[in-house]
Each structure stands twice: as C-alpha cells, then as structure tokens.
Amino acid sequence: ESEGSFEYGNYQREADDLRSVIQYFSERNHAITTILGHSKGGSVVLLYASKYHDVPTIINVAGSYDPKKGIAERLGKDFMEVIKRDGFIDVVSKKGQFRVTEESLMERLSTDMHAACLSIEKGCRVLTVHGSSDEFISVEDAFAFAKIIPNHKLHIIEGADHEFSKHQAELAEVVLNFIKTFIQEGKDFEPLDGASFSQDETDFLQNIMSDSNTEDNNAAVPPYDETHCQPAAFDGIW
C-alpha cells in the first residue's frame, strides 16, 4: 500500500498516478492486462481506460457514475458556501477524519464519467460489479455504466453492501470467471500496446485453467483488497 493522504476529488490525478504504476511494471517486462478499482477506484480505472487505451480488461467494482451525487449528504447542504468561505471542509466519518479542499471538490464536480466512458475503446473489455444493497453508491450507477460502455458486462450481487462485507467470496468468483471466460474462448490477452507475458504470468494463467473445474475456485484468487476507494493495478491477469 502506498503512502499519501486521501483526497475527495483528484480523479484525473489518480488515473495519472495509476499510469505511472503501470509504466513502471511495463518497463520491467511485465504485461499489465487487467486493472481493478473499488468505489472511487472503480471510477478511476474507467477514467484510465478512457485516456490511455493500453490495458485490455477493466474491472469496476462499485464505482460512481456521477461523482456529484451524494456530496450534499456528506458535506452538508451549504457545502459550497462553507468551502468558498474557509477553503476547506473537515469531514468525520466511521473510517476517520479527512479534509476536503476547494481544489479537490472542484475537480470532483468537474469529473464527467459519461464523457469518459464514451471514450473507452470497443476492444477494451469492461466488467462492472455492484451490490444491490450498496448504501453509498446506488446500484443505478452500475446500470448507467452498462448503457454507455460498448464492450461491457454487468453483474449485480444481490444483498451486497458497498464493501461486499458478506459477499467477498462471490465477488472474487465473479471477477475470476470474467477473466477465465476469455481464456477459455481463446481470446488474446496481450496488452493493447503489444507487450508479452512473462513466464510467471503464463504459469498463473495455466494455474487458473487447471483450477477452473474444481470446487475451490478461490485457490487461484489472491486475497481481496479491502482498501477503500483506491484503484489497484494487478500484474498479469488479476
């Protein structure tokens, strides 16, 4: 986990940070073929796909289609007046306290996920997974993504909350099955920029296939990262 403070906005900056991570591994001959993000991270990986076009599979877990929604509920109805006056708003939540700066808020308000999704190439495969009982980001956001992203699959996990607290095994299975489907169909998992798999990545692919007919599909699944709102880049296909 990297160091740094949580920012309420800065979606585009986080997409650019993710680009740096992917370039770091790519320059060391690792093929980055899938990126997954949860919550804010889900929106960030979609922004990444709309801008850079070099990762063929994107997995959006409980991402927000409209970052402007819910701001008044979190910051107060007079949030614009307060932030213009003070330059920041301190927010206390169950996860702790964080500061929303005017710059961060303005960036969030200007983030247009609809326009970004229209810029995702048709060759990029996108999976959106959302819980039907998400208490922070409405499941309707998932349906909105499904309407405009061309090469898209939607999976709703019934009863799951925003953190998938009681549904993490099901979440892992859905993600892994999405990836395995393309392997079984003989799809090309080369990154869009033409990089190739390392031997470790090839071995991992083969391990997934060998486990695909067993009852314990989680054997090939790394532990689910519960880090809230952070995009994650996974080497190989995970």
Q: What are the pLDDT digits (tens) for 126-185? A: 999 999 999 999 999 999 999 999 999 999 999 999 999 999 999 999 998 898 776 666
The Cα 41–Cα 162 span in angstroms is 13
Indicate left, alpha or beta for 89 from its phi (over 0: left) and psi (-120 to 50: alpha): beta
Read off the pLDDT band of 231 (50, 70, 90). Answer: very low
What's the pLDDT score for residue 107? 86
- Write out the E strands in 68-122: 88-93, 96-101
- Buried b / exposed e over 66-82, threshold 16 CB at 10 Å, is bbeeebeeebeeebeeb
The Cα 151–Cα 148 span in angstroms is 9
Q: What are the pLDDT digits (tens) for 16-37? A: 999 999 999 989 988 888 899 9
The Cα 98–Cα 54 span in angstroms is 33
Q: What are the pLDDT digits (tens) for 58-109? A: 999 999 999 888 787 778 888 889 888 888 888 887 767 888 888 888 888 8
Q: What are the pLDDT digits (tens) for 194-207? A: 444 455 544 544 45
What's the pLDDT score for residue 118? 96
The pLDDT mean for the chain works out to: 78
Q: What are phi and psi of 65, to 5 degrees?
A: -80, -30
Look up the CATH number of domain 11-66+111-234. 3.40.50.1820
- Ranges of each domain in the chain: 11-66+111-234, 68-110
Residue in this structure with the two tokens 């990029």, named with its chain if needed: 124
β-pairing verdict for 125-131 and 152-157? parallel
pTM here? 0.74
CB 136 within 8 A of CB 110: no
β-pairing verdict for 34-38 and 57-61? parallel
What's the pLDDT score for residue 8? 73
What's the pLDDT score for residue 3? 59
